[in-house]
Amino acid sequence: MIHKTLLPLAILAALVSPIVAQEAPSQIKPFRVLQFKAVSEDTAIYSPQIQDGYVFHPQRPENPIEVGVEAGTANDLLAGQVRDIARGNAGPMFPAIGATGWTPPDPDLAVGPNHIVAVVNSSLAFFNKDGTRTFMQTSQTFFSGLGAGFFLFDPKCFYDRVHNRFVIVYLEQDDSPQVSKVLVAVSDDSDPAGTWHKYRLEAKLVTGGTSYWLDYPGIGYNKDAFVVCGNMFGFNGGFAGVQFLVIPSAPLLTGGTATVRYLRDANSASVQIAETIDASHDKIYAARRDTTTSTGVYAIRDLTSMNPVITETTVAVPAGNAPQINASSTNGTQLDSLDGRIFNASWRGGKLVAAHTIQVGSFLRVRWYQFSTNTWPTSGAPTLDMAGDVGATSVHHHMGVANINSVGDVSVIFTRSSTSITADIMRAGRLVGDPIGTMGTPVNLESSSGNRYTGGRWGDYFGIDVDPVDDTTFWGIGMGVAANNDWRTSIFSWTISSPGTVVTPSALTMDRGTIISGAIGDLATSDDARVRMRPADVFATTEYAIRALINGVSPDLTPSQLKVLVESQASSGGIEQRVELFVHGTGVWEEVDRRLSTVGSDSSFEVTISTNPERFIDAAGSIRARLSYRATEAAFIYPWVSSVDRFVWTVVP
């Protein structure tokens, strides 16, 4: 048995009510600013397009140095458990990337409208959603145009749903000479095949005469910026906390110069940045394990200013011991459990979810949280909605990651192992209305083919995402043991609640303005085939110069939710977009969203109506929308054009 060198921790307790932040927030500001040029390359330059080879690498990613978790103030909060009811239905699943010669794989994935990007140590691949692999290269080959070195590791990726881009991140490190870089690649659209804008960002930190390198990254985004962070370890020993790289994203979308502002929290470790898909939200949140009874929550704001600010506070959570043991597997082998750090974080609609591993007795469990960020940090404080454990008394559940979909379902993907189970890839989930803190019975996605894992390392994390098409289907990637006892990775999809029915427009007419190209069929999918509209002449900026009437037919007259998704852009700044739905009972138009259009690239947002959505549906199922645009008083170029790539409703039973 391998024991962890961590501090003794408090016993497990549980959640009973919402809990607020328990200490005054601290603020962190930038200490340096650097700029970096892009190298833009098309994936067509790689031949063959699928380079599937195995090369043993004697140098492996460092086993993440573990940081002890301090014992927190004892509390009586309750963590929910699993219920004796299965939640979810299986969708497509397929093999991802097999053993590459690096250990462990560190798998992650990003899900777009039609494609999936998967990354491991140290290769990346593109897939269609039916599992067809269309591209695969080593990270060294993919980033060779940047002059990157040989040792690239700890990959992460995400799909930026605001700007419809895939983003890939790898770390680069060398001891001699002392090198620490963050490699970032941004696709030019929602199809990973084609042009990528690539950057090699400085990550080495020098303070007090000591140099530090960045390890175990967290990555996330919102409408304004990408944020990367990581633990800072000395090349010759020592620890300098967590460094954050705040990168305004607009230039990276077109291969422009990246401006990076660096901030550091010298007193923290293992922070995970949340993906923020809400197209109007101006903050990015993050989470870390603070003590055995508290979680650190970060808000990163003023992201495009000269001085972005990071505010941190802590929220009390049910007590949970950090792992003191590794997870048992078959034939006397063990799987790394790490130190109880947060493995991932996601934010949407005011809810922040995160997951990590705890130890209860002689076994490991997946612990997950859902926080409300409320109006913090402007005012108030974040609160804990619920916490839950996924585990059993005779097997280990570990390496869990969590996400939340548009209807509020939460799901996790993780490893199950024991002396009789080599390593199963599992999932569990909860419906939004399930009892607080509970999840359904874990479901086995895939069992290992081998029975004696030879890699020695496990994880160091898994990946989970939500499909942007229906915004309810979960996709996950995890590792298992192949027949030759090396590692393999697989991709899975599943739903917890019904994803609803997508309703495409059945009629499009112009009440004001003119369609200059495109037709109603172009609104059905996100495919860059757009309806382009030119404004009519108006006499005041308060008037809408474009007003499109869009009709559809709902299959359900009394849905639980009605969603409206719009993907659009404008040719000029200062163009306001307004979405209204027709209330059939009163004969009036009700505004459901208003925002400024993005310029030069599509923004995608979805409005969810959960209160009395049937008011927008008549007895024949008719839904009527009015999509309007006007030039505000802000500077704009005339004549301007508004382009809509997608406009659909989703009707959830």
| Bridge partner residues of 210 (DSSP) | 207
Cis amide linkage into residue 499, ω under 30° from 0: no
Q: Is 319 helix (H, G, I), strand (E, B) or coil?
A: coil
Query: Cα-Cα-Cα-Cα dihedral of 523, 528, 533, 534, to 10°?
Result: 180
pLDDT of residue 201: 99
pLDDT single digits (tens) 94-107: 999 999 999 999 99
- 8-17, 137-146, 446-455: least confident range: 8-17
| Bridge partner residues of 120 (DSSP) | 123
CA distance 416 to 328: 10
pLDDT-based confidence at residue 601 (cuts at 50, 70, 90): confident
pLDDT of residue 641: 95
Q: What angle do CA 283, 288, 293 make, to 5 degrees?
A: 125
DSSP string across 344-369: EEEEETTEEEEEEEEEETTEEEEEEE
Ramachandran area for residue 411 (φ above 0: left; ψ -120 to 50: alpha; else beta): beta
Q: How far is CA 107 from the centre of its chain?
A: 14
pLDDT single digits (tens) 216-238: 999 999 999 999 999 999 999 99
pLDDT of residue 505: 97
pLDDT-based confidence at residue 652 (cuts at 50, 70, 90): confident
pLDDT of residue 434: 86
What residue ranges define each of the domains in the chain, with the CATH number in brackets?
A: 30-54+93-495 (2.130.10), 501-652 (2.60.120.200)
**Are the CB atoms for 481 and 415 separated by under 8 Å?**
no
pLDDT-based confidence at residue 3 (cuts at 50, 70, 90): very low
* Among 184, 252, 246, residue whose Cα is nearest residue 221: 246
* 511-539: b (≥16 Cβ within 10 Å) or e: ebbebeebebebbebbeeebbebbbeeee
This prediction's pTM: 0.79
**Are the CB atoms for 581 and 589 separated by under 8 Å?**
yes
Q: Is 495 helix (H, G, I), strand (E, B) or coil?
A: strand
pLDDT-based confidence at residue 468 (cuts at 50, 70, 90): very high
CA distance 628 to 549: 9
At residue 253, what are phi and psi to the nearest 5 degrees?
A: -70, -25
Q: Is 141 helix (H, G, I), strand (E, B) or coil?
A: helix
Please, what's the largest Cα pairwise distance for the chain? 79
> Which token pair is 506?
């059945």
pLDDT of residue 12: 24
CA distance 256 to 225: 14
pLDDT-based confidence at residue 64 (cuts at 50, 70, 90): low
pLDDT-based confidence at residue 637 (cuts at 50, 70, 90): low
At residue 613, what are phi and psi to the nearest 5 degrees?
A: -65, -20
